[in-house]
Amino acid sequence: MKAVVLLSGGQDSTTCLFWAIKKYGSENIAAIGFDYNQRHKAELTHAKAICDTEKIPFTIASLPTISELTDNALINTSINVDKEAPANAPPNTLVEGRNLLFITYAAIHAKALGARTIVTGVCETDFSGYPDCRDVFIKSTNVTLNLGFDYPFIIETPLMWLTKAQTWQLADQLGVLDTIRNKTLTCYNAIPGEGCGTCPACDLRKKGFDEYLCMK
């Protein structure tokens, strides 16, 4: 095994899965997703279906403790998802520490499989105010993992400097545009494909797709 892909079943992570398949070959890829009581947990069903089609081993790790320690709109369905983040504050869908935990668990899985590479779909260009999507965070985490595991991990972030439109372009270049459009779940209201059309995740996804169509 060469690489472990963090796979939620959404647009970005699924694009990264196909990027990794092209770079390493499907026989050298494993994927991992996380159940942390997220409101759109159905995304994992879509992730598994994609992995089954591509014959990629897919592990779902349960991390319910996150929902016991932090309160936000992505976990607590009684909190409405803000359309826009408040001034000088992250959006209320921020799950504190989520990516740090996800990458750490992915590293545990990767080392057990003998893989060195961890692929994640975080992006600083369209990072929506999430501090754990920044390049500096990924680079710092990479150093910490290598020290903590005494193992030479490489964290790859294919989307780090891409806009959402460029992410759609990458999916098209990989030949999986229809798969990303129709078989992924990005929507916070757990509606696959184009989603609900009103939540921030759907809004960002649609704006990016419309921009990509203008680029073609």
Average pLDDT (154-180) is 97
Length of the chain (residues): 216
> Residue 76 — pLDDT band, cuts 50, 70, 90?
confident
Specify the DSSP element, H or E, that contains 30. strand 29-35
Pairwise CA distance, residues 114 & 122, whole Å: 23
What is the predicted pLDDT for the residue at 192? Answer: 95
- Count CB-CB contacts under 10 A for residue 197: 12
Q: Is residue 135 part of a domain?
A: yes
- Is residue 122 included in any domain, yes or no? yes
- Mean predicted confidence (pLDDT) in 17-29: 98
**Total tally of structural domains belonging to the chain:** 1
The answer on pLDDT for 85 being more than 70 is no
Question: What pLDDT score was predicted for residue 72?
Answer: 79
Predicted local confidence at residue 163, as pLDDT: 95
Averaged pLDDT for residues 154-162: 97
Mean pLDDT value of segment 141-156: 98
190 located within any domain = no
95 falls within a domain: yes
**Is 176 within a domain?**
no
pLDDT at residue 39 in the model:
84
Parent domain of 11: 3-163
Which residue would you say has higher pLDDT here, 51 or 82? 51
200 lies in some domain: no
As a whole number, the mean pLDDT across the chain is 92
The predicted model gives 41-48 an average pLDDT of 96
Cα–Cα distance measured from residue 12 to residue 104, given in angstroms and rounded to the nearest whole number:
19
Q: Please check the confidence at residue 155 and state whether its pLDDT lies above 70.
A: yes
Q: Which residue has the higher pLDDT, 142 or 215?
A: 142
For residue 144, the domain's CATH number is: 3.40.50.620
Helix locations, 64-194, DSSP H? 65-69, 98-113, 135-149, 164-173, 177-183
- In angstroms, how far is the first alpha carbon of the chain from the final one? 36
Q: Distance of alpha carbon 208 from its chain centroid, rounded?
A: 16
Is residue 171 scored above 90 in pLDDT?
A: yes
Residue 209 is given by DSSP the state H
How far apart (Å, rounded) are the C-alpha atoms in residues 83 and 107? 33
Report the alpha-carbon distance of residue 185 to residue 195 in Å, rounded: 7
- Taking each helix axis as running N to C, give the angle between helix 164-173 and helix 11-24, from 0 to 180 degrees, rounded to the nearest 10: 40
Q: What is the pLDDT of residue 151?
A: 98
In a domain, 208, yes or no: no
* 73 occurs within a structural domain: yes
pLDDT digits (tens, 9 = 90+) for 101-146: 999 999 999 999 999 999 999 999 876 678 899 999 999 999 999 9
